[in-house]
Chains A and B, each alone.
Chain A
Amino acid sequence: MADNITLTIDGHPVSADPSQTVLDAARSAGVAIPTLCHHKDLLPYGGCRLCLVELRQGKRSQLVASCGYYAKAGLEVHTRSPRVLRARKLVLEVLLALMPYSEEIRRLAHENEVTETRYQRTMHYCVLCGLCVRYCDEVKHTNCIGFVGRGVERNVAWVPPDRYDQTCRTCFECMSLCPTGVFPSNFGLAEV
């Protein structure tokens, strides 16, 4: 294992292993960064954009997903800068419309002063965080479910549909990962 390096998070020096992501480093240092599509057993995905942090280097500033950015010596990370908070609020406004039943999202929205959403609510409550799909693939290696379609047509589906009977009945581990709070009504409705 490589030697630890030091980066600063919100002005405080933090020691981290270079194989750690900025998110991991921040959390081990007790700095909270909200996430939705992140899971410790899964590869970084970067879909929800809740974990954005600001990196500064001199005058240059950049927002990155902390779940996929690896710790580097001398990195200057800000988790609550105005730029981060503005982006976070805008993401939360979308999430508030998409997953109104999630207590976690309601709490985060409240904390970030997002009180209402201008986005249309849809009947479809899946936020496509991909936790279930990736768990089925990366952890269980069963590949019962997958993404189909693209863009706004993207969905989670059993492929083929009869996989539900064969394999899922005895597993259902992915269900506990669903962050929307309405499981299972959000899932498995799409047909290929």
Chain B
Amino acid sequence: MPEATEELCSLDRIDRIIDRYGGQRSALIQVLLDIQKEDKWLAEESLRHVASRLNVPLPQVYQVATFYKAFSLARRGRHLITVCMGTACHVRGSPRLFDRVSQKLGVGPGKTTHDGRFSLLTVNCMGCCALGPVLAIDEDYHSNPSAADLGRILSQYE
């Protein structure tokens, strides 16, 4: 498990997020997305707090948190590497790109490197189909980087 490098969303901050949506029950997914964005994962205490503030039964909060791909109940790395597995990328060799990245990082899909720098994820289409196969590091996209490109690109991230 990587060391915690950032503080979790404090409950105050979660309150502020919830207030932004007027504390409405229907904002559950939006609230969780905001917390996920700040913390990069959803901790149990965050989920409990959201459940009680929005007055949604805890199992329903968990159901939402485990249903959508954007959420993670485990701590993630500082940077997210997302390899697109959409159809266009698939027929242009995304499985091989994925293997390349996976070998370089030494982790499998959904896993985080030991130093906590990167988490490796797959996604079913980022809509960059014309450039496939594509991967994104956080919000920067890269079209079919070679093994050498990858080394150079990855070294730019702390």
Contacts and interface: CB of A to CB of B under 8 A. Distances in A.
Chains A, B in direct contact (C-beta < 8 Å): yes
Interface of A: 133, 137, 143-150, 157, 159-160, 192
Nearest to A149: B66
Name the residue in B48, B59, B60 with the highest tally of chain A Cβ atoms < 10 Å from its Cβ. Answer: B59
B63 interface: yes
Interface of B: 44, 48, 57-60, 62-63, 66-67, 73
Most chain B CB within a 10 A radius of its CB, from A137, A148, A149: A148
B52 to A, nearest CB: 13
Contacts of A192: 62, 66, 73
A148 B60 contact: no
Contacts of B62: 146, 148, 157, 159, 192
A137 B56 CA distance: 12
Given A143-B59, A147-B59, A192-B66, 19 more contacts: A133-B59, A137-B57, A137-B59, A143-B57, A143-B60, A145-B59, A146-B57, A146-B60, A147-B63, A148-B63, A149-B66, A149-B67, A150-B66, A150-B67, A157-B62, A159-B58, A159-B59, A160-B44, A160-B48
Contacts of A160: 44, 48, 58
B58 A148 contact: no
A149 B63 CA distance: 7
Nearest to B58: A159
20 contacts: A137-B57, A137-B59, A143-B57, A143-B58, A143-B59, A144-B59, A145-B59, A146-B58, A146-B59, A146-B62, A146-B63, A147-B63, A148-B66, A149-B67, A150-B66, A159-B59, A159-B62, A160-B44, A192-B62, A192-B73
